[in-house]
Amino acid sequence: MKRILVTGGAGFIGANFINNILNKRDDVEIVNLDKLTYAGNLENLKPSEDKKNYHFVNGDITNSELINYLFQKYKIEYVINFAAESHVDRSILGSQIFYHTNVIGTNVLLEASRRFDVKKFLQVSTDEVYGSLGPTGLFREDTPLSPNSPYSSSKAAADMMVNAFYHTYGMPVVTTRCSNNYGPLQFPEKLIPLMTLNVLSGKKLPVYGDGLNVRDWIYVIDHNEAVELVFENGREGEVYNIGASQEMTNIEIVKLILNALGKTEDLIEYVKDRPGHDRRYAIDSSKIQNELGWKPKFKFEEAIQKTITWYLENKNWWERILSGEYQKYYNNLYGNR
């Protein structure tokens, strides 16, 4: 039995990760530590919540006393750090919580991991640490870090710290840098769920700038299978890029969503651009493909339809987010906080 502290497991990617791994493996015990910020939703974990090898703890990764206590109580051997403030627009409105959670939080986890001699520390990072590309070229693992937003700079700082713990203390760390994810359970502030729900509610679709910024999209299950593979077989001290080579402009995505939902393009509204808006992200994932034999399984054209259908079929899930009801689910399960 591998005892793993998974942080941020009530968010989009972490919850998909936990549900997926617990569905297929019984050789792991998961302690999910999540602060339940606006982005944390315990309803995401319904498939896992009754499993014996799953435990939820409501807490903050920056709380070192709590982290030390959890390492002892659950005899933690591994850490997978998904917890973060993750939305670029929010980081532009206020950066402090981004540096606090993403930098200090990672430091607290690394210090505890060192103290308790963890067998592996996996840092879930992002391609945004590399900055912005022109019309050609791809991010490789040796592309210099050049983050442009408070969000991406906080993630880059954490990546450098993880690297420092490897070189200085010989900690068994590994880092993944993935491109933009989409799929079920994504909080409706990110492009794909936001546009989908706006169409469903008859609202305008706010496209930043000229709509020609490019993102390299990956289905969340493909990302998580790659994380699991790196967790099991990734070499210590290494970084692995994860991406599915599915580049799309924002306007192409918005039109695709409108089309899938049978609505016309007059809902599109071009709005003021995001400050410092990165133009293009695109990933070279040949390292993880060649070294670990990973390959994305989902094609964008099919998985985006699957995702839109999920939002159509799970109206209750997103209505509870829009109304704020989802934040009461903790009390239903565990009593008043």
Does residue number 244 form part of the binding site for ligand NAD (CB under 6 A)? Answer: no
Measured over the CA atoms of residue 109, residue 113, residue 114 and residue 119, the dihedral's sign is negative
Does residue number 194 form part of the binding site for ligand TYD (CB under 6 A)? Answer: yes
Q: Is residue 222 among the annotated active site residues?
A: no
Asked whether 192 and 220 are in contact (CB, 8 A), the reply is no
Cα–Cα distances in angstroms (integers) from residue 40 to residues 43, 122, 267, in the given order: 9, 20, 30
Q: Looking at beta carbons only, is 116 or 208 nearer to ligand TYD?
A: 208
The rounded distance, in Å, linking the Cα atoms of 117 and 169 is: 11
Q: Looking at beta carbons only, is 126 or 149 nearer to ligand NAD?
A: 126
Q: Looking at beta carbons only, is 35 or 215 nearer to ligand TYD?
A: 215
207 binds, among ligand TYD, ligand NAD, none (CB under 5 to 8 A by kind): ligand TYD
Does residue number 241 form part of the binding site for ligand TYD (CB under 6 A)? Answer: no
For ligand NAD, which stretch binds (CB under 6 A), given 65-73, 80-88, 141-149, 322-330? 80-88
Q: Is residue 128 among the annotated active site residues?
A: yes
Which of 54, 99, 130, 151 is the catalytic position? 151
The only residue of 35, 215, 223, 280 in contact with ligand TYD, by rule CB under 6 A: 215
The rounded distance, in Å, linking the Cα atoms of 95 and 89 is: 10
The only residue of 32, 37, 149, 153 in contact with ligand NAD, by rule CB under 6 A: 37
Contacts of residue 190, defined as CB under 8 A and 6 or more positions apart, other chains included, come to 12, 87, 182
The rounded distance, in Å, linking the Cα atoms of 15 and 148 is: 28
The rounded distance, in Å, linking the Cα atoms of 185 and 12 is: 5
The only residue of 21, 76, 79, 124 in contact with ligand NAD, by rule CB under 6 A: 124
Residues in 267-296 at the binding interface with ligand TYD, rule: CB under 6 A = 274
